[in-house]
Structure 1
Amino acid sequence: MKRSHAVARAIAAAMIASTLLAGLANASGGGGHGGEKEKAKEEEGPSTTARSMDAPYLAVPVVRDGHLVNYLFVSLRIEIAPQVDLWRTRERAHFLRDALVRASHSNDLADPHNNNALNEALALQVYRAAAVQALGERAVGPIQIVATYSSQGSGI
């Protein structure tokens, strides 16, 4: 019983940490709405990152035989399809973040043979489904894993 409480506390702490880190990243990266010039520039420019939403520091628990053994921290970039209103989609960012965090915790996304590695193919599939759930099928373009880090110290 004590062990399950420890795992639950660790998962809750990771969820809080990932939410705080995301807020910090948004605050330092100017995640708010820009002026009209910035909005127009993003919608007309050829850069794909201008039509994307980032989800940094998603905590992915690594559980083996019922024991929490590690956390992986995954940063994603989700491209927003060109036919969709970018700003209306970005207004749903909190729903996207919630869906991605829930997906990270309800699926075994770690490589089955390596506690420090992500099963990238499965993670992309799971995160795409979560993004579609939050933003809608038409809004979600390509998804990429920008970075993965292990809490045990090995950046991947």
Structure 2
Amino acid sequence: MSVTVDLDDVDRRILSVLQNDATLTNQELAARVHVSAPTCLRRVRRLIEQGVIEKQVAIVSPEKVGAGLTGIVEITLDVQAAERLAEFEAAMARETAVTQCYRVSTGPDFVLVVQVPDMAAYHALAHRAFTAQGNVRNVRTFFSVHRSKFDTRVAI
């Protein structure tokens, strides 16, 4: 179970700015959130140590790198014992085409987001990661025809 971290106004301002642009220097960030550079650096380090900031990454356009087919996949397992759920999650963690994996309630056991170059790549993924697994009972995939919103920001 995750523990919520208490954030003050300065922490929230830092997180808000960094969610828009994590490439800022510490001095630029400090100026935007109206604190000194040493205070800003100390705050960012604490947010990283506490796990509030998980990663600082570049968001790559799937279409520009040849992975423009997005699939939203529902997976239902035959056996939902804790170790079988964990086995499936571990297998999905190894699949680079699986960009997100959620264990969900009421309905399928998992919802995945996958990014692949084309339908042939999806079929290869589906065979390797879903149908070849002995515990997968049902796979239902929806393919995106238009992405109207994509955001990585978390409301703070």
Q: Same fold (TM over 0.5)?
A: no
Q: Which has the higher strand share?
A: 1
Q: Which has the higher helix share?
A: 1
Task: Work out which of the two has the higher radius of gyration on C-alpha atoms and give 1 or 2.
Answer: 2
TM value normalised by structure 2: 0.34
TM value normalised by structure 1: 0.34
